[in-house]
């Protein structure tokens, strides 16, 4: 079935979604986009829509009132996600919403309830988990090929653009945190997908480079799982390393590494790891979920677990105490 989708938000990430729509023309038609009502936001919206050859909606309400639109992609700043997703679901639209889906755990429960009542799909845009390298890694882990797993690490280090450091991400009231809440969300939900929920965790955070931001720019979470294996999640915006990221899962029969490709004991198993193509795989899975033909790998429950894990890590960093992870 072909779906008509509208985008909410005309920031830099919307171009990645547009490129994905272009690859999925048999599944989606892009109806248009709505942006920030400020003069700067409207100028950005016009530039995007002119480049894409689609309409710019006058307002979010006008977009919701378009009966031809059955799907909405919410790419706006984090604090707007909950209200916009709830309104879109109530208006009878299927919703894909960027990460973090919400900043209050109860809001995620409410979105699930509204979606169920409306009979519509709420789909967290956790694009990294839909990468073929991650999905194949899950198959390998579940097969037992690594043997008894003792350790897992999820690491990313990179700077962010100056406009991000000075924009809404710089204020805790809009971002809900710093590097771990923003970029680190990708690492956390991938850890949950591949290794499950930890039992205990400890968090450490600091501001070392973007010191004018209210949230941290480097954060580490140490984990221990119910079966005893240990793990680490590390997100930095304060390192010149800029190698993007690495996932490493170690067992007594094998070692799995995801960087530019998925390697098992040094041999390349899958090479589709790119950030750009992850949006294609995410949107493809969104369309399948709307059609009732595919599972949502990173559902609202996992989005809630991701948020709770990051909140527990922040509390641990603040109090210097180990936390039991409870959902």
pLDDT digits (tens, 9 = 90+) for 213-266: 999 999 999 999 999 999 999 999 999 886 669 999 999 999 999 999 999 999
Residue 153: count of CB within 10 angstroms of its CB: 18
Angle between helices 13-23 and 39-52 (to 10 degrees): 20
The secondary structure of 159-184, three-state, reads: CCCHHHHHCHHHCHHHHCCCCCCCCH
Q: pLDDT tens across 153-165, in order?
A: 999 999 999 999 9
With beta carbons less than 8 A apart as the criterion, state whether 133 and 273 touch.
yes
Counted residue by residue, the chain has a size of: 327
Spatial distance between the Cα atoms of 122 and 17, rounded to a whole number of angstroms: 17
Residue limits of CATH 3.40.50.720 in the chain: 3-124
Determine contact, residues 134/110, Cβ cutoff 8 Å: no
32, 115, 182, 237, 282 from 232: Cα distances, Å: 41, 34, 17, 17, 26
What is the reported pTM? 0.97
Q: What pLDDT shows up at residue 243?
A: 67
pLDDT digits (tens, 9 = 90+) for 96-148: 999 999 999 999 999 999 999 999 999 999 999 999 999 999 999 999 999 99
Q: Over the stretch 168-209, which tens digit does the pLDDT of each residue have?
A: 999 999 999 999 999 999 999 999 999 999 999 999 999 999
Write down the pLDDT at residue 242.
Answer: 66
pLDDT digits (tens, 9 = 90+) for 52-74: 999 999 999 999 999 999 999 99
Measured distance CA(290)–CA(161) in Å, rounded? 34
pLDDT given at position 1? 85
Strand locations in 52-177 (E): 55-56, 71-74, 94-97, 122-124, 149-157
> Residue with structure tokens 């949950």?
192
Per residue in 305-315, pLDDT (tens digit) is: 999 999 999 99
Q: Which one is the CATH code of 128-273+299-324: 3.90.550.10, 3.40.50.2300, 3.30.360.10, 3.10.590.10?
A: 3.30.360.10
**Count of H-run helices and E-run strands, the chain:** 11, 15
Q: Give the dihedral of Cα atoms 308, 314, 319, 323; nearest 10 deg.
A: 40
39 versus 199: the higher-pLDDT residue is: 199
In CATH, which of 3.40.50.970, 3.40.50.720, 3.40.50.11710, 3.30.530.20 is domain 3-124? 3.40.50.720
The whole-angstrom separation of Cα 43 and Cα 127 is: 28
Q: Answer yes or no: are the C-beta atoms of 27 and 19 closer than 8 Å.
A: no
């Amino acid at each position: 079935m072909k779906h008509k989708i509208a985008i909410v938000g005309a920031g830099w990430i919307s171009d990645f979604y547009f490129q994905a729509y272009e690859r999925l023309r048999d599944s989606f038609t892009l109806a248009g986009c709505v942006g920030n009502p400020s003069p700067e936001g409207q100028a950005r919206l016009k530039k995007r829509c002119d480049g894409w050859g689609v309409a710019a909606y006058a307002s979010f309400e006008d977009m919701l009132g378009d009966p031809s639109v059955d799907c909405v992609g919410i790419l706006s700043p984090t604090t707007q996600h909950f209200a916009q997703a709830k309104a879109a679901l109530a208006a009878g639209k299927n919703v894909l919403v960027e990460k973090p889906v919400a900043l209050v755990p109860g809001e995620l429960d409410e979105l699930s309830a509204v979606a169920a009542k409306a009979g519509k799909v709420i789909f967290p845009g956790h694009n990294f988990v839909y990468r073929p390298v991650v999905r194949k890694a899950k198959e390998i882990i579940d097969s037992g090929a690594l043997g008894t797993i003792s350790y897992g690490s999820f690491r990313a280090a990179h700077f962010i653009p100056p406009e991000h450091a000075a924009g809404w991400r710089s204020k805790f009231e809009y971002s809900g945190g710093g590097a771990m809440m923003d970029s680190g969300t990708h690492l956390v939900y991938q850890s949950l997908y591949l290794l499950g929920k930890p039992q205990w965790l400890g968090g450490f955070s600091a501001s070392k480079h973007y010191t004018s931001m209210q949230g941290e720019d480097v954060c580490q979470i140490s984990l221990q799982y119910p079966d005893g294996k240990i793990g680490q999640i590390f997100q930095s915006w304060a390192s010149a390393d800029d190698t993007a990221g690495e996932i490493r899962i170690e067992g007594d029969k094998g070692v799995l590494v995801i960087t530019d490709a998925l390697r098992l004991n040094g041999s390349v198993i899958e090479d589709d790891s790119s950030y750009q193509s992850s949006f294609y795989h995410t949107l493809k899975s969104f369309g399948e979920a709307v059609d009732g033909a595919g599972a949502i790998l990173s559902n609202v429950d996992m989005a809630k677990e991701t948020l709770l894990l990051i909140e527990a890590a922040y509390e641990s960093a603040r109090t210097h105490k180990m936390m039991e992870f409870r959902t």
